[in-house]
Structure 1
Amino acid sequence: MSGLLRYLHCSPAWRVLRPAAPGMQGGRFRSNYAAEEGIEEEIQFAAARQEDPSSLYSDHIPTNAVQKLLLSAGSAVMALYDPYRHDMVAVLGETTGAVALRKLRDQMRRDPEGLQILQERPRIRMSTLDFQTLREMPDGTFGREYARFLDVNHVTPDTRMPVKFVDDEELAYVAQRYREVHDLMHTLLGMPTNMLGEVVVKWFEAVQTGLPMCILGAAFGPLRLNNKRMKKLGVLVPWAVQSGRNARCVLNFYYEKRWGQSVASLREEIGILPPPEIKA
């Protein structure tokens, strides 16, 4: 047993979680992997990974079944402790979502627009988008409202971590695409990045994707809400679930080609139902 623990402790997969543990401050975990205690180890690990012949894509970290189990358990605990730990939510999704990712990939292959996305592999990054142009679009257009969402919530698409633990290159892209359109779902659903907004989006995504991390977030996220927000959630969750069931697969839309489309018409095309009115 001690030999197994030493092996896992030194394994590349386990190193992803280790640097996070010393970063616990004030009851919350830091998500910054550039903490001094982890920098040298991360650099050495990155260099070793690039030389690993079993890597399937640039950020891939090969892992066996035992390592995936430990990563799943560790990331689930950290994600439940602090739902804002997007890095741990990402690890959990990659190590538990293989079946759901295959279903999503198959849906994309059967759809002309989804197939085009799989073939062209677009990325939603600061380096691939002209945000000044998006900000100058008319109010109500998808591009303008997406840029407004990012500005108001002080986030960028580059905050999404690269996929590392999915052992299939095409499925890794599907996972990355889902991760990068998450903020677009916030925009289309009209949800902020606070806990209430995240839970509502997770309910929508859980129905849409079947990814275990979405189901977990939808189920346990409400525990973090106060009574006032729980009342709002009672109205918003049925709408999110119904919209998720009614909507076409959200990964089958080439959003980069739809910035000039109105949010209202894009919602209607996808199948997102009109949001309910919530009393302040």
Structure 2
Amino acid sequence: MTRQTPLKIDPEDFVYIAGYATPPSPKFRPLHALVSAVKLILNKDDTRQVFEVVTSLSRNSSRRLFERFVATPYGRRVADGEVNLTEILGDFARLRTYPEGAFGKAYVDFMDEAGFTPQGLIDAANEAGIGLKEYPELEAFRRVFTHLEVSHDLWHVITGYGRDPLGEICNLVFTHRQTGNPGLRLIVAMGLSAIKLERWSMPAMKAARQAGEMGEKVDFLLKDDIEELLARPLADVRAELGFIEPTAYNSIPYTERHAVLRPRVKGTQTEREMAKECAEAA
């Protein structure tokens, strides 16, 4: 796999928000975003392409999201390094001790099923060259977006959308409504179009619309203390935060959802996780 050259940023271009340094808006690259979106449609496991699209089309949406997040008490704790979601979600041994039905237990079961870890998403971001580790001044900004990155699979669990192609698309629809990144709209539009070309009768559009309604109905999810929520029954958390049942998505048979957009190239995130396991076992 190839690793993108890290972003080159002049510290004089930093923009300060609530006392925190943030990077300048990335260059608008619609063609690059389109190419990356096509690669993602060819293989939904190539998580790096999500970051490529999001960065290429984000303009100043990331800064707006950062500003909204650090305006909350929990967001400031994340920015200041008091909360490390990667460590919290990566402690599978602890999460497995939670009772059946707990949010944290449902999350670790979801990750075990795929053989993934939160670190896989961070590695994908680093491959795309957006880790920002070269700039200690941007540490708070990096912490916030690492928090968002590792929340992806957590949001799969709380929304009820699976890892199948339509489940990934619906999770991105929800995420777009919560975070406002325009790059997610391109991925969703291309993904839904590809599904309809393969299987016109599948109610994919209806499922995506319901995901959007869910994203609008639920208040800003990033503001909630995830560690506190993990120990609680998932059904209670969903009800309290205003989640709705993804009935349109659930009405589609499991086998049908998994039959569309089958990967046409090797999965990069899966390969990373497998390579890591092999190296640790050696």
- Say whether the fold is shared (TM-score over 0.5): yes
Q: Which runs of 5+ in 1 are unaligned?
A: 1-31, 57-61
Inter-partner Cα distance in structure 2 for 1:124 and 1:109: 15
Task: Describe the SS at the equivalent of 1:125.
Answer: helix
Name the structure, 1 or 2, with higher relative contact order (CA <8 Å, separation 6+).
2
Deviation of the 1:121 alpha carbon: 5.5
Counterpart in the other structure of 2:51 = 90
Deviation of the 1:118 alpha carbon: 2.5
Inter-partner Cα distance in structure 2 for 1:263 and 1:125: 20
Q: TM-score, normalised by structure 1?
A: 0.69
**Structure 1 residues 174 and 223, CA, compared in 2 at 3 Å: closer, same or farther?**
same
1:158 aligns with 2:143: no
Inter-partner Cα distance in structure 1 for 2:85 and 2:34: 26
* % same residue: 21
Q: Which runs of 5+ in 2 are unaligned?
A: 15-22, 254-282
Counterpart in the other structure of 1:136 = 97
Counterpart in the other structure of 1:227 = 199
| 71, 76, 93: which one aligns with 1:110 | 71
Counterpart in the other structure of 1:206 = 176
Inter-partner Cα distance in structure 2 for 1:220 and 1:147: 30
**Structure 1 residues 248 and 197, CA, compared in 2 at 3 Å: closer, same or farther?**
same
Inter-partner Cα distance in structure 2 for 1:234 and 1:245: 17
For the aligned residue pairs, the C-alpha RMSD in angstroms reads 3.3
Inter-partner Cα distance in structure 2 for 1:63 and 1:211: 16
1:245 aligns with 2:216: yes
Query: Are the equivalent residues in 2 in contact too, given 1:206–1:215 (CA < 8 A)?
Result: yes
4+ aligned runs moved over 6 Å, structure 1: 62-65
Alignment of 1:1-280 (within 5 A): 32-33=1-2, 68-69=27-28, 73-83=31-41, 84=44, 85-120=46-81, 122-125=83-86, 129-160=90-121, 161-162=124-125, 164-165=129-130, 169=138, 170-225=140-195, 226-227=198-199, 230-231=202-203, 233-276=204-247, 277-278=250-251, 280=253
Q: TM-score, normalised by structure 2?
A: 0.68
Inter-partner Cα distance in structure 1 for 2:173 and 2:157: 15
Aligned residue identity for 1:125: T
Aligned residue identity for 1:78: S
Query: Are the equivalent residues in 2 in contact too, given 1:204–1:244 (CA < 8 A)?
Result: yes
Query: Are the equivalent residues in 1 in contact too, given 2:218–2:241 (CA < 8 A)?
Result: yes
Query: Are the equivalent residues in 2 in contact too, given 1:94–1:175 (CA < 8 A)?
Result: no
